[in-house]
Amino acid sequence: MHDFAADIANCAAEVETGLENVLTAEQLSAPGPAAERLVAAMRHGSLKGGKRLRPLLVRQAAAIFGVPAARSLVAGLAVESVHCYSLIHDDLPAMDDDDLRRGRPTVHKAYDEATAILAGDGLLTHAFGLLASPDCHPDPAIRIALVTELVAGSGAGGMAGGQMRDIEGERGGFSGDDIAIMQSMKTGALIRASVRIGAILGNADARALSALTAYAEAAGRAFQLADDLLDVTATAAAMGKATGKDAAHGKQTLVARIGVDEARQHLLAIVNDALSALRTFGPKADGLRATARYFASREH
């Protein structure tokens, strides 16, 4: 039987160690010396917490094609750096205005708003340096493809654009289709990029990449819907952050439109879509299957 708990624990521990090693003043000092306060803020927003699900997806997708975990780690660190940057910026007063993240003060509370903005900027920039490094992959063409994929997942047509659509929805309202598009960008695009990055590391052919993309898009929808459900049903203590904020801020979610019970049924159907996309890969994709199921069943 696939041991998903061990997979997630091992990946989280290795990502934590990897981030510890790359987010140091020594590693970040080029061409000038890195500001110590900035490095400390970057580390505060990245270390000591988080399930590291996006690096796990990179690892699991790459493993289908025989790529060892150690060879996908740097790419996973890049994806996680982008994710952590997005959390730092999302927590700012001008965005979601959160005081708590992963059970600790958010970066702008632990430091200040300007430092938090720069910490996010530093993590986003460094992510692409990680992908461009030969430590990530020896083939420059593969590294270019990885960079391109992460750009698509995190930019104006992906995560950043989805965040903008979310803000617009608070002001003007959304249709059901608008919500789906916004969530596929804000949350789903980086999940999609994570899976595709793993496939690119494994030199996946077009057919395999298409199937994994279908899986990733469904998994992204499942993750976001589960997150929206948790915002309604979970406690702040369990989540390590404030809950109930979607309704308080007038955020547009599927849960708000169809209710908790129907949303849970919809979540199960989405997970089935994700699992169906993996049918051609056999047991090699058991890790990805376990992650999709986890997205639907998580309690924090």
Dump pLDDT digits (tens) for 7-45.
999 999 999 999 999 999 999 999 999 999 999 999 999
pLDDT, position 138: 97
Residue 253, pLDDT score: 76
Length of the chain: 300
Model confidence at 238, pLDDT cuts 50, 70, 90, reads low
Over residues 112-137, mean pLDDT:
98
Q: At which residue do the structure tokens 């940057």 appear? A: 85
Residue 242, pLDDT score: 59
pTM of the predicted protein model: 0.92
Residue 78 has pLDDT above 60, yes or no: yes
Residue 297 has pLDDT above 90, yes or no: no
| Model pLDDT, residue 236 | 61
The answer to whether 188 and 221 are in contact (CB under 8 A) is yes
Which is more confident, 69 or 300? 69
In the prediction, which pLDDT does 254 show?
Answer: 75
**What percent of the chain has pLDDT above 70?**
92
**Are 128 and 104 contacting, i.e. CB atoms less than 8 angstroms apart?**
no
Helix segments in 91-187, DSSP class H: 107-110, 113-132, 140-154, 159-172, 176-186
pLDDT tens-digit readout, 162-184: 999 988 888 877 776 888 899 99
pLDDT attached to residue 237: 59
Peptide bond into 283 cis (omega under 30): no
Query: Percentage of the chain with pLDDT > 90?
Result: 78
Sign of CA dihedral 130, 135, 137, 141: positive
Which parts of the chain fold into alpha helices (H)?
A: 4-22, 25-28, 36-44, 53-64, 69-90, 107-110, 113-132, 140-154, 159-172, 176-186, 188-201, 206-233, 236-239, 245-248, 254-258, 260-276, 286-297
The CA-based dihedral angle spanning residues 90, 188, 127, 164, taken in that order and rounded to the nearest 10 degrees: -40
How confident is residue 252, by pLDDT bands cut at 50, 70 and 90?
Answer: low
For 102, left (φ over 0), alpha (ψ -120 to 50), or beta?
left
Residue 48 is classified by DSSP as S
Calculate mean pLDDT across residues 234-254.
Answer: 59
